[in-house]
Each structure stands twice: as structure tokens, then as C-alpha cells.
Structure 1
């Protein structure tokens, strides 16, 4: 098993030219820039976009309490929510214990599109069980769909699939479009241009919003910096993955996925942990 864009899938790792660079973009001296490291420790520098909303959170108010991260107000009162995200890879989950641990919300993988040539859409085999059990336990619930869409038609198809399978459930957290780098041989999204990835995000999110849900885009630092056209995605909330001690992104986000090795009662093994800064 390897980590791919902060999610686990079975894959053959392929080295890319971009990974070997310390800077993935030539930056002119007069441009404002920012630097970051990815989950593998590779360092990058890129232009700071003037037309993208900046992060307004005071990072000095992020605290650790009983092993979990929280955001506080100026007086030290916790004002964030703590959450996990899960899929079939977490196996059977005791959501009652998860709730008792102090977890406020869970984002559940609803489904995915395969990264192979046929790109078949499938429902996560634990989705129905996870969604019902999480809601029954009193947790706030959102869902994500792992996309491998190569055009807007497929992104629309993915949104329709999600909407169809959500009809039974009263969720209150966002419906997330999860688009990531696939470092695998024969990945169907290999070579897809920034414009297409961005348009896929827009197509999916607009369909989700039209259906009455709150759309969101999941991305890590590298994906946001080099693959998505962020100015075109300003109207959508971001769920941002970064496993450094504090968030590195200069841009606004709503949820921060801060580790993939969290421990929570009711979940066997590791689980992703998240801070929701705004409350849905």
C-alpha cells in the first residue's frame, strides 16, 4: 500500500519529473511567492495569486488537546469541530465509540471511479453501513467522491451517481469532489490539463449545489499550487490536506486534514483527522 495524495490505494509508484524539482514553476523575481513542502518532504516555490482569497485564520490559536488539534478564539475557547474521514479501508467502525471520543463529524467515501482505462464508477462497499451508523450515532455527516473524470461529461456523471445514492440520507456536511494526483502506471488522468481538472471541479460542484447540497473541493498543497486554476474555484469551499505542524496554505480553506495517522476509539488502525474551522 502506498499513499497517493493523502489517500490509500494499491498502486505502482511512478517517479515524475515534477517530483525531482525543488521548484515546479519558474517564478519571476518581481512576483510574490510562497514556499511549501509536500507529504514526501519535497520543497516547492510558486507564485502567490493576488486574486485568490487569503487565509484569515490566526495559526497561533491552533492548539493540541488530548492528542487532537483544535482552533480557539482569542480567549482560548475551542471554536472548531474535530472530524475523521473514512472509507472501506477502515473496516468495521463503532461510530458510537467515535462519538464518545469527542469526534464531531465524519466525511465518508461514497464512491470512486477506477483509475484504469474503463474508469468504472463504484459505490464504496462500506458506504451504506457507515452512513447509517454515523447518522444514528449523532455525528454530523458529509461524503466525498474520489474522481478520475477526464472530462466534464464524466464529472457530471459522478455528481449524478453521488446524488442518487444520497437520497436516503439527511447529511449536513459538504459533498466533496476529491481529485488527486495518481502516481500509477496507466492512470487515465495522466496528462490531463489544468483547465480540464478545474472544469471538472466546477461541473461536479455546480450539480451538487443544484441538488441542494453544499459542494466542496478536496486538494493538497501541490495539487492546489500546480493543477487547479484556483481563481476559477473561488466560490467553492476547500478541504485542504497538509500534514505539517501548521497549515502552509496562504489561501482560504474551511477544513484542514492534518494527519493520516490519527487514533480514534472505534476505528481500527490509523484514520485521517480533520479540523473544521467554520462549522457546517
Structure 2
């Protein structure tokens, strides 16, 4: 995902250098702006299936907070510009230790009547990145600006990628009153999951000075997920295994984001 974003940034900045050689008498003076912000992501649709593997997804179906660690806008026209931004979102519900514990409890409850259960999962070994959080989102899009004295409004449409990870899970099952020993594995087959995303937003605010603006943003975004956890049962005595589809996550995900921060004029 990060490789794709770097390529997009290079494309935008290389073009901006060529156009930036021209001068004009536009009334809207600022051409380069950065926009750090914080906010909340409120899901309008749900991803989870109420199965054990929900806890193997580095994601939360409830409200999460986000940190927009990087956002830069380049206005190539009085009213029109391009913006690239990168956000990381998280929630204490996504913490690996908590997800791992919930997965273990679900597997214990599912098999404990007939087996002695020893569960484990990759969620226990995941560390949250303090910058990118658990769910990463990078967007690039067209921004329009309208300014009236100290007030401004910036509608924007963007495309990009939303990315999060899936973990593995397993359990060793020793059948009660028997020598039967099984291993159950849960996996999607690939850990990172990148999802093409579209987003529309409205940024509005007030100019505190010529160089610093306060802004509030409301955004709606959409992406589609399509991944499946399989369940593999291996008889550790005979080596025979069977694989079945356990839980499919094919969903349309709509999210409402509300954020606030500063716009800093660079040039």
C-alpha cells in the first residue's frame, strides 16, 4: 500500500513543479497547504459476522479515532487543486492482546464439551503502529475552494486505498476419553487486505491568520471487502486434513468521518 502512495505523491509533485513555474494575479494567494487533523470514523455498515474469526481482523465495527498524519494540497488554479492525505485509525477494542483473548474464548466455548482445547492466534503478536494505527487510509483527489473574507469552503472528491490486516488462528484439540488429536487452523491466505476506496467530503473553516486556518471536515467513504477465512482440520495422527469455508466477509462498507484541525499555508 505504501508503495502505491509514494508513486501517487511523485506524480502529483512532479507535475506541480512544471505548472508552478508560471505566475498569475489570482486573488487566492496560497498554492501549497498542509492539513493535520484528528477525528472520528463512524461506520454506517458492519463488517463482522459474529463468528470467532471476527477477532482475527485488525478492525473494529464501532467508532474509531483517526489521526491524519499527512495531508498536502496544491492549488494549480484559483479555485482548483489536488490533495493527498494519509490517515491512521484505531480503537482500544482492536488491540492485539484483546482480540487474541476474545478469539481464544470463542474457540474454547465452541469445542470444550468434547475436547481439551489449546488455542492461539497471530493477534497476540501484533503491535499497533503509533502513527498508522490499525486501519490505514490514503486518498488523492480533486479539491475546489471558495473563499469569502475569512471564511472558506472546500468540497473534495477522492479515490484511494483502505488497508488493514487479518491474522491467523489455530487450536490443538485433544478429544476427551480418546487419543484423537486434531489441529484446527483459520486463515485468509493473505495477511494484508487493500480495498479500493472512494470518498466525498466537505471542508469548511475560518482563517485565524494569513498562514493558519481552522477547519472542520465531514466525509463519507465507501469500499468493498471480499475475503474469506477457511477452516482446516488436521488429524495429527493420520495427517489427513479437510478444508472448508468458515466465514466470508463480502461487504459494502460505508463510513462517516468527522474531523477538525489546522490548515497551514506553506506558499
TM-score, normalisation: structure 2: 0.21
* Bigger helix share: 1
* Bigger strand share: 2
Q: Choose 1 or 2 for highest CA Rg.
A: 2
